[in-house]
Amino acid sequence: MQWSPMAERPAFMAETYIAADVVSSSNFDERIGAAPDMILLHYTGMQDGQAALKRLCAPDSKVSAHYVVFEDGHTVQCVLEGKRAWHAGASSWAGETDINSRSIGIEIVNPGHEFGYPKFPLRQIAAVIALCRSIMTRHTIPADRVLGHSDVAPSRKQDPGEKFPWELLHESNVGHWVRPAPLSSEGPSLKLGETSEAVRHMQRRLRDYGYGVDDTGSYGEETRIVVAAFQRHFRPERIDGVADASTLLTLRALLDTRPPPLG
């Protein structure tokens, strides 16, 4: 167990029973516009969970999240849900660019790709699921707006990464997910350098789902990065930025099964 309490009087009471402790961060401001309608999942990307928590609460770091979930499932709240935590950075989804105002950020303790990227323990995932379900009872959050940092910032981020078990979340009614179409050498395949109407159609479908990509019809580096981010979340068996038949079929299935808007 890597959690240990920090000697600091909490500035508020935890908003959910899932959070066993409060370690308040001063890195927040007021939300702009609508109430939160997204949950954004991150990994901490640091070797030590305590160091990550300390950074999220240090005023000079200018970063924060609403919650931190440790490997053993211990959950800490750092920012009130009604406030705008600073976790998304430069990002976009479905045409929106102030993702911090629209989302509740959850940092999941994992050293990430830079430090070996281990699997997420089941106890930790169980806590993430419980936390997400708790948040979703207090806010109007559609299943398809429970996302990873890499979805909204594909050129900068890889977290929570290809080892994150989105299927387990989906089985608990958290997030939108379909079983990926199997890998195959048959069928259409679009890749870097290609220009065609098929590329434009694929770009439009990615944008329809929410990804920030222009429908230029040209498969440039921006498109390759977005396709790789899509694969990291929804078809992690192979992440190469090539829109093969498996990727295209999985994208179509997601659009076909997308839940209707809430309310």
Q: What tokens does 32 get?
A: 């702009």
Over residues 68-85, the mean pLDDT reads 98
The answer to whether 41 and 148 are in contact (CB under 8 A) is yes
Catalytic residue among 30, 107, 171, 221: 107
Contact 147, 125 (CB under 8 A): no
Arithmetic mean of pLDDT over the chain: 94
What pLDDT, on the 0 to 100 scale, is given for residue 5?
52
Place of tokens 């098929």: 198
- pLDDT at residue number 8: 56
What mean pLDDT comes out for the span 40-52?
Answer: 97
Model pLDDT, residue 11: 80
Amino acid at 126: A
Can you tell me which residue has the tokens 């981010």?
A: 229
Peptide bond into 160 cis (omega under 30): yes
Handedness of CA 100, 59, 156, 233 (dihedral sign): negative
CATH of 21-171, one of 3.40.50.720, 3.90.1280.10, 3.40.80.10, 3.60.21.10: 3.40.80.10
Query: Is there a catalytic annotation at residue 107?
Result: yes
Find out whether 24 and 10 touch, Cβ atoms under 8 Å.
yes
The answer to whether residue 109 scores a pLDDT higher than 90 is yes
Query: What's the CATH number for 197-256?
Result: 1.10.101.10
Amino acid at 219: Y
pLDDT tens, 8-23?
557 899 999 999 999 9
Query: Of residues 216 and 1, which shows the higher confidence score?
Result: 216
Average confidence (pLDDT) over 206-224: 97
- Tens of pLDDT, residues 131-177: 999 999 999 899 999 999 999 999 999 999 999 999 999 999 999 99
For CA atoms 207, 215, 192, 182, the dihedral sign is positive
Q: Among 106-120, 122-136, 183-197, 231-245, whose mean pLDDT is lowest?
A: 183-197
Task: Round to whole Å and give the CA distance between 200 and 176.
Answer: 24
Q: How far apart are CA 228 and CA 235, in angstroms?
A: 9
Can you read off the two tokens belonging to residue 71?
A: 């490997």
3-state secondary structure of 129: helix
What is the number of alpha carbons within 13 Å of residue 116 lying toward its C-beta? 8
Cα gap 125→167, rounded to integer Å: 11
Query: Which residue matches tokens 């890889």?
Result: 158
Domain ranges of the chain: 21-171, 197-256
